Structure 1
Amino acid sequence: MTMGDETPVTSLILPVLIRPILSQLEKQDISASQTLRSALTKAEASCPGLTHELVLGIMRKGDLTVNLNESILRLQGAATETDEYRLNRSEDAFQELNRKSAALKRILSRIPDEINDRKTFLETIKEIASAIKRLLDAVNEVNGFIPGTTGKQALEQRKREFVKFSKRFSNTLKEYFKQGLADAVFISALYLIHQTNMIIATVKQKCE
């Protein structure tokens, strides 16, 4: 199963839901936690969407009705950044990109709590627009550190993808104010979180 166009949540189940649970387990049994983390990470890498299927299977078994898009978006706010989506280089440009990436994801995670309060939500939308601009500025700063033309092109491509999903998010908001479909906003926000993670992953790959 590959990440379908309507389910960005598949790529976020492991970092946002499963890994924080494994971090809690580490306090009781570090070796069991690390074994599980390694196994699930490998399984997800070879079969993207597997952890999503696992969670859906558990929910079906327990007869649970949960809006996973909304839940993962909420959980993103409480999740600490995993090493996978955090840059280790100490230069200001990299640390700034870490901060701007985390800030955007934190603001997006507030959407489920604020979407029904129009005044608050409109303020949050302004914050999201500013956070997107700051993130793009931070990406431009980091681009100067990336060696070689192909590395720079890869990051530029990621940036274009991010901008495309930012525009889609903006269009989804316009539709929401006409039709009131909150889930479409949650999905679009998850896409933006995924694209933010992909920017960090690309920088890591080309620079670390």
Structure 2
Amino acid sequence: MTMGDEALFASMVMPVVFGPILEKLEKRDIGAAQTLRAALTKAETNHPGLAYDMVKGILRKAELAGKVDMCESLLRLEGLNQSDEFRIDRPEPAFQELNQQSATLKKILSRIPDEIYDRRKFLETIKDIASAIKTLLDAVNSVVNYIQGPENKQLLDQRKREFVKYSKRFSNTLKEFFKNNQKSDVFLSANYLVNQTSVIMKTVKAAC
């Protein structure tokens, strides 16, 4: 595992692992949840990767370190993630469509660990992913006119190019998978694509 992969997991742990837990806590005690979220966010900002280190520490304490595939687990959890962190709170249909398409792509990607063992199902999933990628990019293009300022538009364009790059990388990884059957490479590439989807949503949200 490279340092880049570790950084990817570190960026995913807060929204994928801690985010849903905090949202459930908010329904029971919103004050405590907000205090805990603020503390975790501040700690993560000051010490990037802290949340990921906490998860690894818990796994070691439970003697599960080496028994849990972090890459596969994060990908699976993304399919269950209903967090509002990456949702854009705007009523316009274009933003609602973008919310829907980003969630759809992540959910389809999260099916990979279950369906990669069934060639027929996996091929159908690959088609679904390709369609979801195109639809998401169309949705991003639909909100460009709502973005204020040339710098924000330029940043979003950069995020789109990065997303396309990781989409192509994912496609190449799939081609290699059918030659060498390295599932872990597919899981990792899918997680990068999930993360790039989140980056796009954060960029749009910050600019609106």
* TM-score (ref. length: structure 1): 0.93
Q: What is the alpha-carbon distance in structure 2 between the residues aligned to residue 150 and residue 30 of structure 1?
A: 36
How many residue pairs are counted as aligned between the two chains? 204
The residue type paired with residue 12 of structure 1 is M
1:28 Cα deviation after fit: 4.6
Give per-residue Cα distances to partners, 1:29-60, cap 9 Å, x unaligned. 44333222111112112222110111001111
* Counterpart residue identity of residue 72, structure 1: L
Between the aligned partners of 2:11 and 2:3, the Cα distance in structure 1 is: 10
The C-alpha deviation readout for 1:52-87, integer Å capped at 9, x for no partner, is 1110011111110200111111111111032x2010
CA contact (8 A) 1:81 1:102 kept: no
Distance verdict in 2 for CA 1:205–1:23, change over 3 Å: closer
**Could you say which residue in structure 1 is the equivalent of 2:51?**
51
Q: Which deviations, in whole Å up to 9, do the C-alpha atoms of 1:79-114 show, x marking residues without a partner?
A: 1032x2010111111111001100000000100110
Letter of the 2:24 partner, please give it. Q
RMSD of aligned C-alpha atoms?
1.5
Alignment of 1:121-160 (within 5 A): 121-160=122-161
Aligned residue among 71, 75, 88 for 1:73 = 75
| Letter of the structure 2 residue corresponding to residue 70 of structure 1 | E
The amino acid of 1:87's aligned partner reads: I
State the one-letter code of the partner of 2:54. Answer: L
What letter matches 1:14 in structure 2?
Answer: M
Which residue is equivalent to 2:4?
5
| C-alpha distance in 1 between matches for 2:184 and 2:207 | 35
For structure 1, the 5+ residue unaligned runs are none
Paired letter, 1:15: P
Q: Runs (4+) of structure 1 moved beyond 4 Å? A: none
Distance verdict in 2 for CA 1:151–1:28, change over 3 Å: closer
Partners of 1:91 and 1:16 lie apart in 2 by 27
**Identity of counterpart residues, as a percentage?**
59
Residue 27 of structure 1 deviates from its aligned partner by 4.6
